[in-house]
C-alpha cells in the first residue's frame, strides 16, 4: 500500500471539488442574467467560481417562488409526519456530504478542515433537533366560562428571509432554516459573499431531500444589493439575520421602511471571561480561556475576547494564558492537526493587524503574539494584550480575530467591568465558590453565561444576545417561536 499524505489528499480533493456557479430558486439552479459575484478563498489568489449577484428583480422572483410554495401548501400544510420525514432525509444527506461541505468551508474561509468537519457534525445535530421538534409544539386550550371555548394555535408565518455570515457557512444557515422549515415556512437564504458556495450546496441538498420546489431557495450576492432587497421586500414576513450589529440595525430600519416584517437578530459580541482568584484549577482555566478566544481564529460571535482577571492572580494567570496560546499557532488548514488557519480575507486580516496597533498605541502591552504569522498567509499569531483599560477601543469594539484584551479588576468590580459594553452575547466565570458563581450568572448582562467552562452547550439551550448583541434566540424549541404566529380562536357556545 502506498503511504498517503493526508494533507495532500485533502488539498487534491479540494482542487477537484465541483463548485456551484448558480443560485437556487424554485427547485432548480438559477444562473442569473446580470452581474456576477466572485467566490473567493484566502488560500488562493484566483476566484473559485462566479455566482449570480442577484438584484432586486431576481430577489423578487425568489420571494415569489417561496410565496407560491407557501400558498400551495405542499409543505406549509403537510402533516407533521411528512415534514419530519423530509427533514430527516435532509440530515442524512448533510451527513453523506460531510466531507464535501467541510472542504467548501475550508476553501472559502480558510477554516481548518478539523473544525469544518466538526461544523458539519454539529449542523447535523442541530437540523435533527428541529426535524424531531416538528410534532412536539402544541397550542393551548384556555380556561373559559362554560358558554365559550377558546384556543390559541401556532401557524407558520409565511416567507422567511435568512441573511447569514461567513464564519459558520453551514451552521448559521442551519440555525435559521432548521426551525423555519420545521414550522412549515418557505425560506430564502442569502449566504455571505465569502461563503456562498457552501450555502448554495446546503440548499441544493434540502431540495434533493424532498423539500417541494420553492420551499428552500438561495439567492447569492452582496449585502448592499441582495441582502438589502430582502430586507426591504414587502412580501417577506420575517427577516432572520446573523452578522454584525451595524448591519442588524440596517435591517430594523428596512423593516420600518417596508412592511414591518419581524426582524430577528444575532449580532456581534465582546464577551468577557472572568477569572477569580478562587478558581479551582488555573491551568485548566487558562487552556479554556485560550480556546475561548483563539478557536476559529477569533472569528466567532461569542469569542471570549475580554479577559477580566482578579488582581491577586493577574500576572500569574496571564502567564498561563500566554503559554496556552502557543498551542494555537496558525498552520495549514488542510492539515488535520491545525487548530487555527488564516483569517477569511485580506480585509479582515488588515482589520485585525490594525486593531493590535491601536491597542498598543492606547497603552496596552503584548504578552504573546502581535504579528502576522510567518508561515501562513493572512493568519495572525494568537495575541494576548495586557494592561488594557475598559475605556480602550480594544476593550470595547469587536475585533473578530485572535486577539485577547486583558483587564485587571478587583473581585467586587468584575461584573461592572464585564457589563460595561454595548454587547451582551456571552460571558464566562471561573470560580470555586458556588454562591459567587450563581450571583455572577444573575448579574451578568449576557444571553449565555458559562461557569467553569466556555462555549459549551446542547441543542436544547437557546442562544441569543442581550443589548446590541441581538433580538431573539437561535437553537432550542424557543427558536421556533420566531417562525410561528399565534392565532387566537374564540367560540361562543351560548
228 binds ligand NAD (CB under 6 A): yes
267 binds ligand NAD (CB under 6 A): yes
Candidates 3-11, 244-252, 354-362, 373-381; binding stretch for ligand NAD (CB under 6 A): 244-252
Exactly one of 42, 124, 184, 268 binds ligand NAD (CB under 6 A); that residue is 268
**Residues 208, 217: Cα–Cα separation, whole Å:** 12
Closer CB to ligand NAD, 269 or 333, in the complex: 269
242 binds ligand NAD (CB under 6 A): yes
301 binds ligand NAD (CB under 6 A): yes
* Residue from 418, 463, 395 nearest 273 by CA: 418
**Residues 275, 262: Cα–Cα separation, whole Å:** 38
Closer CB to ligand NAD, 467 or 485, in the complex: 467
Which residue has cell 428583480? 57
Exactly one of 9, 35, 224, 433 binds ligand NAD (CB under 6 A); that residue is 224
DSSP labels, 57-122? HHHHHHHHHHHHHHHH-TTTTS-HHHHHHHHHHHHHHHHHTHHHHHHHHHHHH---HHHHHHHHHH
* Residue from 80, 175, 209 nearest 134 by CA: 80
* Residue from 451, 393, 442 nearest 419 by CA: 442
Exactly one of 244, 312, 452, 453 binds ligand NAD (CB under 6 A); that residue is 244
Radius of gyration (C-alpha) of the chain in whole angstroms: 23
Closer CB to ligand NAD, 50 or 323, in the complex: 50
398 binds ligand NAD (CB under 6 A): yes
Which residues ranging from 135 to 174 are in contact with ligand NAD (CB under 6 A)?
Answer: 163-167, 172
Closer CB to ligand NAD, 240 or 469, in the complex: 469
C-alpha cell at 415: 461584573
**Residues 374, 196: Cα–Cα separation, whole Å:** 29
269 binds ligand NAD (CB under 6 A): yes
SS3 232: helix
**Residues 70, 194: Cα–Cα separation, whole Å:** 30
C-alpha cell at 168: 459558520
C-alpha cell at 14: 479540494
What is the pattern of x (binds ligand NAD, CB under 6 A) and - over residues 439-458? --------------------
470 binds ligand NAD (CB under 6 A): yes
231 binds ligand NAD (CB under 6 A): yes
Exactly one of 22, 67, 111, 190 binds ligand NAD (CB under 6 A); that residue is 190
**Residues 122, 29: Cα–Cα separation, whole Å:** 27
| Nearest position to ligand NAD, beta carbon | 223
Q: How far is the CB of 159 from ligand NAD (least distance, A)?
A: 17
Q: How far is the CB of 109 from ligand NAD (least distance, A)?
A: 10
Beta-carbon contacts of residue 371 (< 8 Å; ≥ 6 apart): 380, 381
φ/ψ (deg, to 5) at 186: -100, 150
Closer CB to ligand NAD, 223 or 370, in the complex: 223
Q: How far is the CB of 220 from ligand NAD (least distance, A)?
A: 10
Q: How far is the CB of 242 from ligand NAD (least distance, A)?
A: 5
Taking CA atoms, 184 is separated from 69, 217, 222, 440, in Å, by 11, 14, 28, 39
Q: How far is the CB of 313 from ligand NAD (least distance, A)?
A: 29
Beta-carbon contacts of residue 86 (< 8 Å; ≥ 6 apart): 209, 210, 211
271: left (phi over 0), alpha (psi -120 to 50) or beta: beta
Closer CB to ligand NAD, 167 or 338, in the complex: 167
Candidates 190-198, 270-278, 287-295, 325-333; binding stretch for ligand NAD (CB under 6 A): 190-198
Residues classed as catalytic: 266, 301
Q: How far is the CB of 171 from ligand NAD (least distance, A)?
A: 9
Candidates 210-218, 242-250, 331-339, 365-373; binding stretch for ligand NAD (CB under 6 A): 242-250
Which residues ranging from 47 to 106 are in contact with ligand NAD (CB under 6 A)?
Answer: none
**Residues 465, 457: Cα–Cα separation, whole Å:** 15
Exactly one of 64, 250, 411, 413 binds ligand NAD (CB under 6 A); that residue is 250
3-state helix, strand, coil in the chain (%, to 5): 45, 20, 35
Q: How far is the CB of 38 from ligand NAD (least distance, A)?
A: 14
Q: Which residue ranges make up the site for ligand NAD (CB under 6 A)?
A: 163-167, 172, 190, 192-193, 222-224, 227-228, 231, 242-244, 247, 250, 266-269, 301, 398, 400, 425, 465, 469-470
Amino acid at each position: 500500500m502506498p503511504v498517503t499524505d493526508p494533507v495532500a489528499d485533502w488539498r487534491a480533493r479540494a482542487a477537484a471539488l465541483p463548485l456551484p456557479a448558480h443560485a437556487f430558486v424554485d427547485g432548480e439552479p438559477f444562473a442569473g442574467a446580470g452581474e456576477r459575484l466572485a467566490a473567493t478563498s484566502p488560500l488562493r489568489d484566483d476566484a473559485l467560481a462566479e455566482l449570480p449577484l442577484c438584484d432586486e428583480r431576481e430577489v423578487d422572483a425568489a420571494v415569489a417562488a417561496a410565496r407560491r410554495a407557501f400558498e400551495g401548501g405542499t409543505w406549509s400544510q403537510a402533516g407533521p409526519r411528512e415534514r419530519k420525514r423530509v427533514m430527516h432525509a435532509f440530515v442524512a444527506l448533510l451527513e453523506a456530504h460531510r466531507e464535501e461541505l467541510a472542504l467548501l468551508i475550508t476553501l472559502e474561509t480558510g477554516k481548518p478542515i478539523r473544525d469544518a468537519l466538526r461544523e458539519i457534525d454539529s449542523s447535523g445535530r442541530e437540523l435533527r433537533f428541529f426535524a424531531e421538534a416538528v410534532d412536539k409544539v402544541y397550542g393551548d386550550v384556555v380556561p373559559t366560562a362554560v358558554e365559550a371555548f377558546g384556543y390559541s394555535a401556532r401557524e407558520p408565518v409565511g416567507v422567511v428571509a435568512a441573511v447569514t455570515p461567513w464564519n459558520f457557512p453551514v451552521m448559521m444557515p442551519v440555525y435559521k432554516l432548521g426551525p423555519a422549515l420545521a414550522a412549515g415556512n418557505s425560506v430564502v437564504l442569502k449566504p455571505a459573499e465569502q461563503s456562498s458556495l457552501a450555502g448554495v450546496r446546503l440548499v441544493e441538498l434540502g431540495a434533493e431531500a424532498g423539500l417541494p420546489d420553492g420551499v428552500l431557495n438561495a439567492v447569492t450576492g452582496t449585502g448592499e444589493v441582495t441582502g438589502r432587497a430582502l430586507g426591504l421586500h414587502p412580501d417577506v414576513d420575517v427577516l432572520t439575520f446573523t452578522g454584525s450589529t451595524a448591519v442588524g440595525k440596517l435591517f430594523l430600519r428596512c423593516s420600518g421602511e417596508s412592511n414591518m416584517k419581524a426582524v430577528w437578530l444575532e449580532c456581534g459580541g465582546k464577551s468577557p471571561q472572568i477569572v477569580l482568584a478562587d478558581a479551582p484549577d488555573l491551568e485548566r482555566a487558562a487552556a479554556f480561556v485560550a480556546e475561548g478566544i483563539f478557536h476559529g481564529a477569533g472569528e466567532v460571535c461569542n469569542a471570549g475576547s475580554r479577559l477580566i482577571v482578579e488582581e491577586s492572580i493577574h500576572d500569574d494567570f496571564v502567564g498561563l494564558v500566554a503559554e496556552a496560546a502557543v498551542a494555537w499557532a496558525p498552520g495549514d488548514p488542510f492539515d488535520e492537526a491545525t487548530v487555527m488557519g488564516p483569517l477569511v480575507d485580506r480585509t479582515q486580516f488588515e482589520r485585525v493587524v490594525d486593531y493590535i496597533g491601536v491597542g498598543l498605541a492606547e497603552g496596552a502591552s503584548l504578552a504573546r503574539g502581535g504579528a502576522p504569522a510567518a508561515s501562513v498567509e493572512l493568519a495572525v499569531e494568537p495575541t494576548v494584550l495586557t494592561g488594557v483599560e475598559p475605556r480602550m477601543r480594544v476593550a470595547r469594539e469587536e475585533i473578530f480575530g485572535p486577539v485577547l484584551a486583558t483587564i485587571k479588576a478587583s473581585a467586587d468590580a468584575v461584573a461592572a467591568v464585564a457589563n460595561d459594553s454595548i454587547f451582551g452575547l456571552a460571558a464566562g466565570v471561573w470560580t470555586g465558590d458556588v454562591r459567587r458563581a450563581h450571583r455572577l450568572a444573575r448579574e451578568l448582562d449576557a444571553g449565555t453565561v458559562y461557569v467553569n467552562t466556555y462555549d459549551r452547550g446542547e441543542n436544547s439551550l437557546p442562544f441569543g444576545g442581550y443589548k446590541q448583541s441581538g433580538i431573539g434566540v437561535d437553537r432550542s424549541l424557543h427558536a421556533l417561536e420566531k417562525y410561528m404566529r399565534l392565532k387566537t380562536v374564540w367560540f361562543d357556545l351560548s
